[in-house]
A and B are shown apart, each in its own frame.
Chain A
Amino acid sequence: MSSRLKILKGVSEWIDVIIFLVLLMIVLPPIIPRFLLSDILAWSILVYGFNLLYGFLGYLSFGHLAYFATGAYMFACSIQYLHIDPLLAIVLAALAGALAGAVFGIATVKKGGAYFALTNLSISVIVYYIVLYFLKDYTGGFEGRFINLKSNVIDLTSGEIAYYVIVTAFIMVFVFYKILSRSTFVLLLQAIKENEDRVKFLGYNTFLLKYLAYIISATISALGGAMLVLSHAYVSATTYMPGYNGEIVVMSMIGGASTLYGAFIGAMIYLGLKYVIAAYIIRWELVVGIILLTTMMLARGLGIWGLLEKTLKQRLTILLR
């Protein structure tokens, strides 16, 4: 009896991955244009990186675009100047994110709250102006440049194949995130969120824990950056303007920062909204703002998925009584 339950548990554990695969490969592509889907996936990878810090640790970063940019430009420039195969460039991009996170994390993870938000914002601003102007010759600056995605392994210049690569990356990030969320590591992060001193008293090096989380977050975000460039075959500094860090927070909160699917849902809703509304209304910024406002006031920090989860749980517990 118990073994049956265990196996069942095993399969149902990963049902969400299967659902994602089905959704992304079969259900959604006919409905949602592929370029929008790949954008949604790239941004949700970034939001997963952001959620690691915000959802679990409670540290709100107002500058994750810095890592998005790091990954993007590492990907673009290593293809352009080092003549590396794009697939390898993806790995390099993630590593670059890890390195950047390691460098900046030392200073930023000291405290949360406004300190964390603003130190990250500062980094984002500095990174933006460097890629916009000071490294203009390599990055293409404001105008940006096309990236030649000719690969020796698989044909990345084809939109189809690039999309599959992005889906693969997304699933990998999702699985990683899911496993991570079950781990003691995240449990400790959540404990730190509640009361850091207590965790310290238990003997843990909270700084190291936060630092590690930061590096992982930066790596994931950088991967997202590379995926975005992959989907567009184009990179331009305008994507990384520091003002847009707010959009990451918005996507995270719409979906639900501490939930497993929140990042994807948030990115899908936000980008989908922008896309659909911008097509019909020129004043789309106004409409998005209003929807954001109402969503926030209603969902109250839980995000749409979080709200759904909560009500489902409530209903379920009532049912099971």
Chain B
Amino acid sequence: MVDILIIIRQTLYGVAIGLIFALISLGLSLTYGKMKIINMAHMLFYALGAYLVFTTSILAGNFWYGVILSCIVCFILGMLSEQVLKYLYGKTIEYTLIVTYAILIIGTDVIKSVWGVDFKAVAPPKELTWFIPLLGIEFYRVFVIIICVVLYLSTILFMRYSILGKVITAFIDNDEHLQALGINPRTATIALFALGSALAGIGGALHAPLYAPYPYMASDLIPYSFATIVCGGAGSVTGTLLGGIILGLAYSYSGYIQPYLSPIVTFLILFITLIIKPEGILGTK
């Protein structure tokens, strides 16, 4: 006899975590789908976002400043990282894998030097810490869902209706045609990186109050990020969203039964998805 409230609660959790997966993986999905660059260092933005929100909550006592700071910092760093990563265009996948892996190791160690190795606690903003009585869930989680959906929708709208967004979409579609139009594809890639990184940073900032940031959080989340992208379909915005939600739900439901079951179930789903439809649920060959 499973309590209906428990199902609702676990579903909300699953959606929340799934949306965060999707948000932080979106940048990776687009860069991988289009430029075939597996950027393992992308997750550093996620970690950076979490740690920045921690620092601002200590210094300024305000959670929102932290989120905005993460967004801006990661945006700028994303643009910079494009400068570095552009050397990887056209290189073999294995090469980019290792170079970005090396950057990940270095980045993790930089985080350790700056913030130390111990556990950090980030408190969610006071206004949002009340708990919904019946469900036994903090309102903050619901808030995260709302914000992620808003961000995601804005991204989709941005891609479809704004000029820069259209440039990016065109670039993903066919970059040669874009060049024929006289538009420098570099603008698209820079914008892509910046956007993806900023989203990852915000994702990290939002996720931070739900658990404690620690130095290895970037590398630990990489498998989940890959799973999200591949399940949903690399290069597809809605695909990543779908992939994230499905995996988030799987993670949440199995986690209720036994926490160690979550990774197994999540990767089993990835495995099965790959076998049945390798390009992902919404991916195209």
B interface, CB within 8 angstroms of A: 32, 38, 91-95, 97-99, 101-106, 108-110, 112-113, 219-220, 222-223, 226-227, 230, 234, 260-261, 263-264, 267-268, 270-271, 274-275, 278
Chain A 268-299, CB-CB to B under 8 Å as 1, else 0, gives 00000000000000010110111011001100
Contact between B98 and A250, CB atoms less than 8 A apart:
yes
Select from chain A the residue with minimum beta-carbon distance to B216. A243
Instruction: Report the bound CA distance from A111 to B276 in whole Å.
Output: 12
Any chain B CB within 8 A of the CB of A134? Answer: yes
Instruction: Report the bound CA distance from A113 to B278 in whole Å.
Output: 11
Instruction: Report the bound CA distance from A286 to B113 in whole Å.
Output: 10
Among A122, A242, A250, A288, the residue within 8 A (CB) of B268 is A122
Contact between A129 and B109, CB atoms less than 8 A apart:
no
Instruction: Report the bound CA distance from A41 to B24 in whole Å.
Output: 39
Interface residues of B, dominant DSSP: helix
Any chain B CB within 8 A of the CB of A60? Answer: yes
Select from chain B the residue with minimum beta-carbon distance to A285. B109
Contact between A289 and B260, CB atoms less than 8 A apart:
no
Contact between A118 and B98, CB atoms less than 8 A apart:
no
- Nearest-Cβ distance from residue B44 to partner chain A, whole angstroms: 12
Residues on B with beta carbons closer than 8 Å to the beta carbon of A300: 95
Instruction: Report the bound CA distance from A17 to B271 in whole Å.
Output: 40
Interface residues of A, dominant DSSP: helix
Beyond known contacts A126-B267, A283-B109, A292-B98: 15 more, CB 8 A cutoff: A60-B94, A114-B230, A121-B226, A121-B267, A125-B267, A126-B263, A132-B260, A133-B260, A242-B223, A243-B220, A285-B108, A286-B106, A289-B105, A289-B109, A292-B105
Residues on B with beta carbons closer than 8 Å to the beta carbon of A132: 260
Among A134, A286, A301, the residue within 8 A (CB) of B92 is A301
Contact between A123 and B271, CB atoms less than 8 A apart:
yes
Select from chain A the residue with minimum beta-carbon distance to B234. A114
Select from chain A the residue with minimum beta-carbon distance to B222. A243
Interface residues of A in 189-215 (CB under 8 A from B): none
Residues on B with beta carbons closer than 8 Å to the beta carbon of A121: 223, 226, 267
Contact between A107 and B271, CB atoms less than 8 A apart:
yes
Contact between A125 and B105, CB atoms less than 8 A apart:
no
Any chain B CB within 8 A of the CB of A79? Answer: no
Instruction: Report the bound CA distance from A125 to B32 in whole Å.
Output: 22
Instruction: Report the bound CA distance from A107 to B273 in whole Å.
Output: 11
Residues on A with beta carbons closer than 8 Å to the beta carbon of B32: 114
Instruction: Report the bound CA distance from A286 to B109 in whole Å.
Output: 6
Instruction: Given A60-B94, A118-B226, A285-B109, decide whether A293 and B102 contact each other with a Cβ distance below 8 A.
Output: yes
- Nearest-Cβ distance from residue B275 to partner chain A, whole angstroms: 5
Interface residues of A in 115-138 (CB under 8 A from B): 115, 118-119, 121-123, 125-126, 129-130, 132-134
Chain A 153-182, CB-CB to B under 8 Å as 1, else 0, gives 000000000000000000000000000000
Contact between A289 and B94, CB atoms less than 8 A apart:
no
- Interface pairs (28), CB distance under 8 Å: A60-B94, A107-B271, A107-B275, A110-B275, A110-B278, A113-B93, A114-B230, A118-B227, A119-B271, A122-B274, A126-B267, A126-B271, A129-B263, A130-B264, A242-B223, A249-B94, A250-B101, A253-B98, A283-B109, A286-B109, A289-B104, A289-B106, A292-B105, A293-B102, A296-B95, A296-B98, A296-B99, A297-B99
Interface residues of A in 231-251 (CB under 8 A from B): 242-243, 246, 249-250
Instruction: Report the bound CA distance from A289 to B268 in whole Å.
Output: 31
Contact between A126 and B264, CB atoms less than 8 A apart:
yes
Instruction: Given A123-B271, A132-B260, A249-B97, decide whether A111 and B278 contact each other with a Cβ distance below 8 A.
Output: yes
Among A60, A125, A246, A285, the residue within 8 A (CB) of B264 is A125
Among B98, B110, B234, B263, residue most surrounded by chain A Cβ atoms (within 10 Å): B98
Instruction: Report the bound CA distance from A296 to B230 in whole Å.
Output: 26
Residues on A with beta carbons closer than 8 Å to the beta carbon of B222: 243
Select from chain A the residue with minimum beta-carbon distance to B96. A296
Residues on A with beta carbons closer than 8 Å to the beta carbon of B105: 285-286, 288-289, 292
Select from chain B the residue with minimum beta-carbon distance to A252. B94
Residues on A with beta carbons closer than 8 Å to the beta carbon of B104: 289
Among B220, B234, B271, the residue within 8 A (CB) of A122 is B271
